[in-house]
Amino acid sequence: MGETITIALPQVAVADSTIESPAGRIIIPGQHLPEKRMDIDVAVVQQLLSTARAAAANAHAPYSNFHVGAALIMADDPEQRIITGANVENSSYGATICGERSALTTASSLGFRALRYLALSTADSLTSPLCDRSPCGICRQSIREFISRSSNAREALILVDTAEPGTLCEAFDIDRLLPYGFNFAPPV
């Protein structure tokens, strides 16, 4: 165990608004998230980021030449092992799987369901803007699937690798990464 620090994901308070139109009210949903504090082990985070960066070397990306690596730890894994993934492209393009989902499907296939940390690295474009280094929409929804919604809701962190000097990573929880993510409540 390394040094533990507490990070605070700031409160988000963007009011809802409404606009009247001749055909009825248009609602502009805001954002309402309380501050969230989480304890993180810095050495674990650092190791996940370097493992994600190394995992990108295994990407099968002959079409895009864009290499993505992921490394995660599941909260419900008693061994707290690091599970890796990389993007695997396909000549059909549509059958491509992203690095994040590649790691998540491995974790899920091993029987784990609750994400604790997911680090990802766009290894050879680490100086790009955050939007070019952070998970795509499908991956955000897939990550959400494996974040426990029972107690201590959304206790997982998504860590984005960067080459910014003096910076370890960018960190999100799923509510900040995927506002209004889809939630299917099966009929009872």
Q: Which residues are catalytic?
A: 100
Distance of CA 86 to the CA centre of its chain: 14
**Does 69 interact with ligand THU (rule: CB under 6 A)?**
no
Q: Any alpha helices (H) in the chain, and if so which ranges?
A: 42-55, 99-109, 137-145, 174-177
DSSP 104: H
**φ, ψ for residue 110 (rounded to 5)?**
-80, -5
Phi-psi label, residue 55: left if phi above 0, alpha if psi -120 to 50, beta otherwise: alpha
Nearer to ligand THU, 78 or 129 (CB): 129
Among 38, 47, 66, 179, binds ligand THU (CB under 6 A): 66
Compute the distance between CA of residue 63 and CA of residue 77 in angstroms, rounded to an integer.
35
When binding is defined by CB under 6 A, the residue of 48, 72, 73, 98 that contacts ligand THU is: 98
Please give the Cα distance from 130 to 141 (Å, whole number): 18
Q: Residue 88 CB, nearest distance to ligand THU (Å)? A: 8
> Of these, 100, 161, 173, 175, which contacts ligand THU (CB under 6 A)?
100
Query: Smallest distance, Å, CB 13 to ligand THU?
Result: 28
* Least gap, CB of 158 to ligand THU (angstroms): 11
In the 8-state DSSP scheme, what is residue 56? G
Report d(CA 146, CA 125) in Å as an integer. 27
Which one of the spans 2-10, 40-48, 98-106, 151-159 is the region binding ligand THU (CB under 6 A)? 98-106
Residues in 76-95 at the binding interface with ligand THU, rule: CB under 6 A:
87, 89
Residues of this chain that interact with ligand THU (CB under 6 A) are 61, 64, 66, 68, 87, 89, 96, 98-100, 135-136, 139
